[in-house]
């Protein structure tokens, strides 16, 4: 298991070995190539959206012009209040952000 700091959530985000393997298998264009950028996304996102599919999930996104001519990295993070826990269920590259309800945006 890996953990990553996320100031937006005020704590760490867990990434289990199983979820890491899921990302590598289903989104090979993201991992293992863009680990540094994934960590940057969690540490300094451009946008945070509340998932409409899963009420406890956030879509944490950051734009990178250096990834394939310009792409977002989107990390899907489930948050629990009691006990406080955050874990990543998947992450992927996107050309544009769609879906979810905008919760926060970098100004």
pLDDT tens profile 25-76: 999 999 999 999 999 999 999 999 999 999 999 999 999 999 999 999 999 9
Instruction: Kindly state the greatest CA–CA separation across the chain.
Output: 41
56: cis peptide before it, omega within 30°? no
**pLDDT on residue 98:** 87
Please state which of the ranges 38-42, 70-74, 82-86, 100-104 shows the lowest mean pLDDT.
82-86
**pTM (two decimals):** 0.95
Mean pLDDT of all residues in 16-30: 97
Q: Which helix (H) or strand (E) holds 17?
A: helix 17-26
Beta bridge pairs of residue 87: 14, 78
């Amino acid at each position: 298991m890996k953990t990553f700091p996320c100031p937006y959530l005020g704590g760490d985000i867990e990434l289990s070995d199983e979820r890491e393997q899921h990302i590598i298998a289903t989104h090979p264009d993201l991992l293992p190539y863009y680990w540094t950028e994934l960590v940057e996304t969690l540490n300094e996102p451009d946008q945070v959206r509340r998932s409409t599919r899963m009420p406890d999930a956030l879509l944490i996104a950051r734009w990178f012009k250096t990834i394939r001519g310009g792409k977002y990295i989107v990390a899907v993070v489930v948050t629990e209040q009691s006990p406080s826990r955050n874990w990543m269920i998947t992450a992927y590259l996107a050309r544009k952000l769609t879906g979810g309800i905008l919760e926060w945006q970098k100004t």
